Amino acid sequence: MKPAMHGVFQLAGGQTPTADVTVDLGKCTKTAELLRQLGKALSFPDWYGANFDALFDCLSDPDIPARIHLHGLNTYAQRHPDHFVVLVEVLRAACEARAEAEAPLTIWLDVAADLPLWPGT
């Protein structure tokens, strides 16, 4: 059996992934706001501290949805390019941790970034 695909991917124009959860982050202009919105949309536990370490911890939990579409990150990526790079690295690390735990995590971003393009349609 072929293992499930995992990782962080960029969507090409018009692609719509089959996600368990789509999170609209289009109104988030600050990192703390973005992290809080992610926690709320993904129903993270009460201990979630809305920081990058806690984001990794929560996304690494196999009980969190396995296919997540993060929508509307263009403005955030432009305003906070350094934090956006950290966000992508945290997402990648969580995907790797989940793959090692045999609970693959796939995250799609619809923002121009240094990410592999999603090969699925």
pLDDT of residue 85: 96
pLDDT of residue 43: 95
Domain residues of the chain, as ranges? 7-109
3-state helix, strand, coil in the chain (%, to 5): 35, 15, 50
pTM over 0.85: yes
Please give the CATH architecture assigned to the domain spanning 7-109. 2-Layer Sandwich (3.30)
pLDDT of residue 3: 45
Cβ contact 70:108 at 8 Å: yes
Q: Shortest CA distance to 111 belongs to which of 47, 18, 5, 28?
A: 28
pLDDT of residue 4: 60
Query: Digits of tens for pLDDT over the chain (121 positions)?
Result: 234 678 999 888 777 788 899 999 999 999 999 999 999 999 999 999 999 999 999 999 999 999 999 999 999 999 999 999 999 999 999 999 999 999 999 999 988 788 877 876 4
pLDDT of residue 120: 63
pLDDT of residue 111: 87
pLDDT of residue 2: 39
